[in-house]
Each structure stands twice: as C-alpha cells, then as structure tokens.
A = this chain, B = another copy of it.
Amino acid sequence: MARAHPAPVVTATLPLSPPPGPRQQRLLLVLREAGRELSARELHQLLEAAQEQQGLATVYRGLKLLQRAGLVRCRRLVNGESVYAPLERDQHHLTCVQCGSSEPLPICPLGGSGLGLTKVLLQGFQPLFHTFEIHGLCARCQQLQAPGHG
C-alpha cells in the first residue's frame, strides 16, 4: 500500500562507481587518518613522506575519481584552494569573508529534520555530497572594522 512516507531523503548516498584502484584507496586512507580536511598539495606531501609518492596531477585525478565514486567531499576555501575529506565526515563551517578563517559549525542542514530533499526536487540529479557554509565576520575582524577603534 502506498502510504505517505516521510519522504526518502536522498542524501548520504550509496557509492556509484566500482571501488577505485589502489592509488585512490591510499588517498582515501590518508584522508581518513587525517583529523582535518586536506588540500591536494598536503595530500601529495603526506604521501611523499610515507614513501608512496604520487604526482600532483595524479592526486588531483584520484580526488576527482573519489568524488564521483561518492567517497570524498570537497569544498573551496576563500583563498582559492580546495580541501578534501571523507564523505562520512559531515562537517560544515563558519567562514570569515574578511580574513578567510574557517571554523567548524556543529550543525548540518540535512542532519535531523531531513529537509525533504525528495527525488522530485532532484529531477534525475544524483547527489553525492553537500556543502553548507555561513559567511560573515569573525569576532576579531568585527573589532578591527569597528568605527571607534581607540
């Protein structure tokens, strides 16, 4: 019977592609062991230190594969560089438009409520991950920008 389902939320998706090759698995492992988001260059350097070097171009290629496989998420910092993290680490940020600092924000807009991200809205689009960010002024930059600075 077609009962009124609580709208099957379509995010937190299943992997699409077959498991990636060994190079990509190494990338994923390093990302999982790191406690934070890593840039492509950091990843490249960490691999180098671990005697498993991969050319920077290869790192970028691998990260793109992992994204398409639904294993890695990515966001761009204000300074232009992209940072990567495992998909299962669901983390968002407060980012200062002035100094670019970015600190964790312990909420997720899709977390509890579900938000009703139905297939109707997605219309054939296959979601892999989401980004949510609040941009504004950090406490320090507010003071520096304040009119009466003393």
Mark interface residues in A12-52 (1 if CB within 8 Å of B CB, else 0): 01001100000000000000000000000000000000000
CB distance from A143 to the nearest CB of B (A): 10
> A106 near B: Cβ within 8 Å?
yes
Find out whether the CB atom of B117 lies under 8 angstroms from the CB atom of A128.
Answer: no
CB closest residue in chain B, given A137: B126
Q: Restricting to A126-141, which residues have a CB under 8 Å from any CB of B?
A: 126-139
How many copies of this chain? 2
Find out whether the CB atom of A131 lies under 8 angstroms from the CB atom of B128.
Answer: no
Find out whether the CB atom of B97 lies under 8 angstroms from the CB atom of A107.
Answer: no
CB distance from A115 to the nearest CB of B (A): 6
Mark interface residues in A64-93 (1 if CB within 8 Å of B CB, else 0): 100110000110100010000000000000
CB distance from A11 to the nearest CB of B (A): 7
Find out whether the CB atom of B94 lies under 8 angstroms from the CB atom of A122.
Answer: yes
